[in-house]
Amino acid sequence: MRFALLTPARVTCYHYHPTFDHQTLGIDFPALAPSALFKSVLPSANNVDGTVRDLLAARDVVLSPSEIQRIHGFNCIGIAEKIPDLSLTSSSQVHVWHITDDLYPVTPSEVERWMVDAPPGKHWILSEREFDSSLIEQSNSLEVVVWGPERMASWIGESVLSGELGTFLQTEEEIESPVINIENASSENQTVRTLRPLVELNNWLEQRGWDGARTSPVLLSARLWDITGTLTGPDDQPESGNWQIIEDPWASTYQIHEAEQVLGKSPALRIMKPSSGWMAERDSLPSEMLKLADQRRQGEPETNDDEVSSIMLEWWRLDQSSVQAEFSQLTIPGWIIYLEGNESKLLHGRNGRLYEFD
């Protein structure tokens, strides 16, 4: 696929690639997924206009109505004072257009008719259909940015996973589950916290030669444990404390939770439960988990006969008999990777490892 940036009397075409440098357009987001992700994020083309408005509103961009609402299949969503995701030659108004999904690519005649009727100025075209940007001829009056299905998928998909798109557009009835043992999104998503993804999907796929693989975003179920108890110092001095520990049943690990790891909003994606079950229970917390609360601290300075001062590190250990624990739901971003000729795998969005699922 190709897309084009048009400046007066100049057309620059780029081939889309998963590792494309997004700074070319002044965009700062990780490339995520091809058009399969786009279709998993949006139930129908009718919701795209609202999604674009929501995403722009999150960037403090408001679309005002346009006198021209439709030109031969190009629907004008509105006019923006600026588009932060685009690098255009100036800050003048931008017409935002949407081309709905269809089996066939955008035709030369459709593009030609749009160019004849489009008002002079800057334009941003969001196309759910394949769009060969070389069809747009050089123009001194039009400056155009075209995003096809893959680029839209990256933009919308990343916004869903980051929590920026606060209201997920799919309903449970519109979801066709491609796998088993996946729970549909429910009201729990409104309160469940989600960790930030650390994996850039397209880079991860390309490194393994899977850049053409179909993917679908999901959430992996985990637990956030709230632990209270007493630390005991080297001289048996007690100190009360509180810790939050993540139980990741997919990676079979525990780790201390830090608040900055969590997204502002949890995306309403399907939540997958671990087939192996949970590792910890309230009345049976593993020592491996509780040892994360142990601390090494600097002790009091000691002076030897040569009057050289030294500071020893001393252990403060959790008295496991004093522990009280409760857990809340936590989710980890991930993707189902559909590998042609092989079983689908589950990609962990933080450690980058693949896991099997039932």
Same domain, 93 and 130: yes
Please report, as a single letter, which amino acid is at residue 183. E
Q: Give the per-residue SS3 of the chain.
A: CEEEEEECCEEEEEECCCCCCHHHHCCCCCCCCCHHHHHHHCCCHHHHHHHHHHHHHHCCCCCECCCCCEECCEEEEEEECCCCCCCCCCCCCEEEEEECCCCCCCCHHHHHHHHHHCCCEEEEEEECCCCCHHHCCCCCCEEEEEECHHHHHHHHHHHHHHCCCCCCCCCHHHCCCCCCCEECCCHHHHCCEEECCCCCHHHHHHHCCCCCCEEEEEEEEEEEEEEEEEEECCCCCEEEEEEEEEEECCCCEEEECCHHHECCCCCCCCEECCCCCCCCECCECCHHHHHHHCEEEECCCEECCCCCEECCEEEEEEEEEEEEEEEEEEEEEEEEEECCCCCCEEEECCCCCEECCC
pLDDT at 292: 93
Q: Whole-angstrom Cα distance, residue 146 to residue 198?
A: 28
Do 151 and 32 meet the contact criterion of CB atoms below 8 Å apart?
no
Residue 34 lies in a domain: yes
Is 9 contained in some domain?
Answer: yes
What are φ and ψ of residue 214, in 5° steps?
-80, 140
Residues 108, 265: Cα–Cα separation, whole Å: 42
pLDDT of 136 reads 87
Single-letter residue type at 286: P
- pLDDT value of position 25: 32
Co-location of 126 and 245 in the same domain: no
- Asked, for residue 149, whether it belongs to a domain, the answer is yes
- pLDDT digit string, tens, across residues 134-171: 888 888 888 899 988 888 877 777 766 665 555 443 33
Q: How confident is the model at residue 15 (pLDDT cuts 50, 70, 90)?
A: very low
Residue 104 domain flag: yes
Q: What percent of the chain has pLDDT over 70?
A: 71
Per the structure, the complete domain to which residue 335 belongs is given by 180-298+310-355
For residues 265-282, average pLDDT: 85
Residue 12 bridge partners (DSSP):
5
Range ranked top by mean pLDDT from 87-91, 247-251, 278-282, 317-321: 247-251
Give mean pLDDT, residues 175-185.
34
Decide if 175 is inside a domain: no
What mean pLDDT is reported for the chain? 75
Among candidate residues 115, 133, 162, the one where a domain is terminated? 162
Task: Compute the distance between CA of residue 299 and CA of residue 141 in angstroms, rounded to an integer.
Answer: 73
Q: Report how far residue 77's alpha carbon sits from residue 61's, in angstroms, rounded to the nearest whole number.
A: 13
Choice between 205 and 166, residue whose per-residue pLDDT is larger: 205
Considering the domain architecture, whether residues 245 and 108 belong to the same structural domain is answered as no
How does residue 189 score in pLDDT terms, banded at 50, 70 and 90?
very low
Higher pLDDT, 39 or 281: 281
Is residue 217 included in any domain, yes or no? yes
Do 116 and 220 lie in one domain? The reply is no
Are both 237 and 271 inside the same structural domain? yes
Domain count along the chain: 2
In this structure, are 258 and 143 located in the same domain?
no
Closest by Cα among 295, 296, 293, 315 to 229: 293
pLDDT digits (tens, 9 = 90+) for 302-313: 655 555 545 678
Q: What is the pLDDT of residue 301?
A: 67
Residues 145 and 222 in one domain: no
Is residue 282 assigned to a domain?
yes
For residue 340, report the phi and psi dihedrals to the nearest 5 degrees. Answer: -65, 125
pLDDT band at 93 (very low <50, low <70, confident <90, very high): confident
Of 189, 350, 348, 325, which is closest to residue 244 (Cα–Cα)? 325
| Residue where one domain finishes, among candidates 162, 195, 223 | 162
The predicted structure's pLDDT at residue 178: 34
Q: Which two structure tokens, joined as six digits, stand for 28? A: 């700062």
- Residue range 120-125: mean pLDDT, rounded: 91
Q: What is the pLDDT of residue 303?
A: 58
What pLDDT, on the 0 to 100 scale, is given for residue 66?
A: 84
∠ CA(246), CA(248), CA(252), 5° rounding? 125
Both 92 and 187 in one domain: the answer is: no
First to last CA, the chain: 35
**pTM listed for this prediction:** 0.51
Q: What is the pLDDT of residue 195?
A: 92
Same domain for 123 and 221: no
Q: Is the pLDDT of residue 23 over 60?
A: no
Residue 304 lies in a domain: no
Q: Of the ranges 42-51, 88-97, 204-213, which is most confident? A: 204-213
Boundary of a domain, candidates 162, 192, 211: 162
Highest mean pLDDT among 4-13, 63-72, 280-289: 280-289
113 and 214 part of one domain:
no
- Going by C-alpha positions, the residue among 97, 86, 99 that lies closest to residue 130 is 99
The sign one gets for the Cα dihedral 161, 189, 249, 317 is: positive
Percent of the chain residues past pLDDT 90, beyond the cut: 28
Which residues, other chains included, contact 315 with Cβ-Cβ below 8 Å and sequence gap of 6+? 234, 294, 295, 296
If asked whether residues 137 and 272 sit together in one domain, one would say no
If asked whether residues 205 and 258 sit together in one domain, one would say yes
